Structure 1
């Protein structure tokens, strides 16, 4: 990857591009745009543009998949010298681990989960640690639903509450940060936080001005077509969606059962439609419909370079509370002190926990992003394709059933955008489902097979235990 041609073929083909917008802030020969599949991609502004070796090295060093620094290296640099710091190879460095929710105000009510994403920003602002927040809000542009924005007041920060399964990029806000002194906090997915951390090693303005990095746990990034998929099944066709709540809480059932609320035009009239996610085709996160391909090559489950990582407490003992709870992995001393004080004051309800419980809350995520990443790397290696250097080595050492599930996820990622585009052309949503039906049947079969093997294994364990006792 030492020349421009290989650089383009390998990365800017979009197979390994997270679309964060960081690259275009490093080199003005590059820009970012949304492609026809609804994913952000980096592109070269002029044809036959020549990059110097120094420029290429600078670009590589701010990319998650190309940099010589991985999350372990950077985490060590950021956090290892903190007094009483802990380390776990699967969650990174941490001072304290918690599960719970915000008790005060309406943070929890207005959040997708326990309310900590918005709460920590308002606390940092209230206490004077920051004066600006970089987060995702409803877009002011008609060509997209959401975008990264900068907020300076409590009310503006609150408007950025809730999870958005929608592509965003940082290029415009980075321009503002570079030219506008201030104390900023930013929130983002693992690839975004990692690339901002890498950028801060090159750019003194970014390093000096972004004071806090708030990380989210996320299985994978989505294209805009995922939103179209949800809206279409609510009766609002692609292009007619005005707003969407991806995680509308229900008054019944566990917190893992939620709805999508879509507002848009139906026959020229504005309508609001609410539908439970379990009733929507594509609601199975594991299939990865409209997944951004680069997401398959991240092994950073717990956003290891963030000052605090927030995720959903996907644990049976917590999901029974349909109002939602967060897991918190705290690495920053100031944030830990803020949390400790708020706990003492009864403004937040948190239970200290351990690393095993944190990992258990994201069990499926770990299985895909770490345990089975080696198989995806192995497949690329076998095809003589370039593979990113990850903390996990290429390997085919997983069960046949899990291999087939990985193969099928790759097929979903590759084919769903193509079939969906044809379905839109035909104005027939059922076309998509018909084309994917054979993959759906096989996917379901292998999960049932895995479940059966698990039950058989458990039965033998119980039988052996009884035999030993007798």
Structure 2
């Protein structure tokens, strides 16, 4: 059973997409619908500084709803992965898997230049050097000022060689869309491409390939980045503003600057501006910035609150951060890796044998542990969000998680409600802060919510730890 609504039934493809995904605010801005030949959608950059699909012309668009990752007409991740990886193991939390590892690149300075262990870049380099692909589709930037629209700093592009690949090899917590690069791939004869993206983008690519055999032949591999959620560009603006660079003057940002001597998850941000501010180029630990917790959901897309794919279940390779002991203690970063494609698995093993990379086998529970907070929000929390939407008679994207509230305490329900409130208010409050040219306005608007959230989560963890210690102590001395 899925959380289908009567709204889903008997609409034509366009009406279904317009009246459900778009009307409900569930568009993640991937650009799949806008990439279709002779399509009726285009991508627009919104006042919230993220992407959203919009009608470019009236008419029926047969495949648009079928390639949207949040549409009720799209094939879900489980079915896509079952067709792609019939010989893989299955875990209900993380999907299909062949091998599970923690590791990093050892040669060529890849790890040092990357955001984490460098294995995404290393595998992509191997695909290029072995002539298994002609190009890698991934996020490029920062873009020169004359190549940007509405101050957009990053966009999808094709890297044809290792220099282009490594120049653009960094995590970007920034809104992007892929319609332009998909059109470029379609227009290039006989090209073979490795596509790198977050889970919902990879799913959208798989859906596009199901409806376009030519594109299916051109997308040779998909690599997914483990994802907490997508943010608008206001996340970059907020960090820059706190470092002394106003939003309109932000030139570039390194979202994951490694800081020697700190744990891998205690990274910094580096801000640059054309105005040569005193603070430009300064590295500041993210922990010092207001709104630093990913749990706050600041500037997140609404769609991300209705996504249950954390690792990228439809990708040949998924790569994330191995933020678990002892790997989190190494500031240089370590990746957690899930393989699904035998050829990718073989490439990794070749890398171990040659000394190019280091890999350590980890079990699926350890992989899940690296995403424990993400799993709580995107599985337990999603069930609750679906339940509340169902009570209100609202359409939501069909999910593999069932609507429920029975698994949560009242405290946890309030935590998830606060996260929704923070997501919604952050967009509105930042717009007004920019209008007033007053960062403090945003912080004043958000602080009551972040404080309430921290009191319930951080305080709640401490209380539960004390209670557990008391139970253990009582058991040790013969009570209870």
For the superposition of Structure 1 and Structure 2, which TM-score range results when normalised by the shorter chain? Answer: over 0.9
Q: Secondary structure at the match of 1:50?
A: coil
Aligned equivalents of 1:6, 1:182: Cα separation in 2: 33
Find the partner of 1:157 among 154, 165, 183.
165
Bigger mean CA offset, 140-149 vs 106-115: 140-149
Query: CA offset at residue 259 of structure 1?
Result: 0.6
Q: Deviations over 1:92-112 (max 9, x none)?
A: 111111001111110100011
The aligned residue for residue 194 of structure 2 is 185
The aligned residue for residue 471 of structure 2 is 461
The aligned residue for residue 324 of structure 2 is 315
CA contact (8 A) 1:93 1:304 kept: yes
Classify 1:259/1:448 alpha carbon distance in 2 versus 1 (closer, same or farther; 3 Å): closer
Q: Secondary structure at the match of 1:316?
A: coil
Q: Deviations over 1:57-90 (max 9, x none)?
A: x22221222234211111110001x3xx322111
The CA RMSD measured in Å over matched residues stands at 1.8
TM score, norm. by length of structure 2? 0.92
Query: CA offset at residue 466 of structure 1?
Result: 1.7
Query: CA offset at residue 341 of structure 1?
Result: 1.0
CA contact (8 A) 2:321 2:335 kept: yes
Map 1:239-254 → 2, pairs under 5 A: 239-254=248-263
Aligned equivalents of 2:425, 2:195: Cα separation in 1: 34
Find the partner of 1:373 among 344, 357, 382.
382
The aligned residue for residue 183 of structure 2 is 175
The aligned residue for residue 5 of structure 2 is none
Bigger mean CA offset, 1-10 vs 228-237: 1-10
1:303 paired to 2:351: no
CA contact (8 A) 1:14 1:41 kept: no
CA contact (8 A) 2:244 2:279 kept: no
Unaligned stretches of 5+ residues in structure 2: 1-7
CA contact (8 A) 1:236 1:265 kept: no
Aligned equivalents of 2:16, 2:132: Cα separation in 1: 44
Unaligned stretches of 5+ residues in structure 1: none
Query: CA offset at residue 463 of structure 1?
Result: 3.4
The aligned residue for residue 3 of structure 2 is none
CA contact (8 A) 2:193 2:218 kept: yes
1:431 paired to 2:441: yes
Q: Secondary structure at the match of 2:400?
A: coil
Query: CA offset at residue 14 of structure 1?
Result: 6.4
1:79 paired to 2:90: no
Q: Secondary structure at the match of 2:282?
A: strand
Aligned equivalents of 2:356, 2:105: Cα separation in 1: 7
Query: CA offset at residue 267 of structure 1?
Result: 7.3
Query: CA offset at residue 417 of structure 1?
Result: 1.1
Query: CA offset at residue 461 of structure 1?
Result: 3.4
Aligned equivalents of 2:258, 2:447: Cα separation in 1: 30
Q: How many residues align?
A: 461
1:62 paired to 2:71: no
Q: Secondary structure at the match of 2:251?
A: strand
CA contact (8 A) 1:177 1:205 kept: no
The aligned residue for residue 4 of structure 2 is none
1:421 paired to 2:431: yes
Q: Deviations over 1:227-258 (max 9, x none)?
A: 11111111111111111100000011111111
Map 1:248-287 → 2, pairs under 5 A: 248-266=257-275, 271-287=280-296
The aligned residue for residue 43 of structure 1 is 54
Query: CA offset at residue 460 of structure 1?
Result: 4.2
1:112 paired to 2:122: no
Aligned equivalents of 2:34, 2:437: Cα separation in 1: 36
Find the partner of 2:232 among 223, 240, 245.
223
Aligned equivalents of 2:237, 2:23: Cα separation in 1: 24
Aligned equivalents of 1:215, 1:7: Cα separation in 2: 25
The aligned residue for residue 125 of structure 1 is 128
Bigger mean CA offset, 16-25 vs 452-461: 452-461
The aligned residue for residue 8 of structure 1 is 18
Q: Secondary structure at the match of 1:271?
A: coil
The aligned residue for residue 357 of structure 2 is 348
Q: Deviations over 1:13-48 (max 9, x none)?
A: 3611010111012252110011010110000113xx
Query: CA offset at residue 5 of structure 1?
Result: 5.2
Bigger mean CA offset, 404-413 vs 446-455: 446-455
Q: Deviations over 1:368-395 (max 9, x none)?
A: 1112210011111111101221001111
